[in-house]
Amino acid sequence: MLARFRERSAAVKKRPLPPVAGEERQAFIQQAQTDFQDFAIIGDSVGSIEDGFLVLRVDLRPADQKT
DSSP string covering the chain: -HHHHHHHHHHHHHPPPPS--HHHHHHHHHHHHHHHHHHHHHHTSEEEEETTEEEEE---S-GGG--
Domain boundaries, the chain: 2-15+22-65
| Gap between the Cα atoms of 53 and 35, Å rounded | 24
Q: Residue 53 contacts by C-beta under 8 Å, 6 or more apart in sequence?
A: none
Whole-prediction pTM value?
Answer: 0.69
- 1-36 pLDDT, tens per residue? 888 888 988 888 888 877 878 888 888 889 999 999
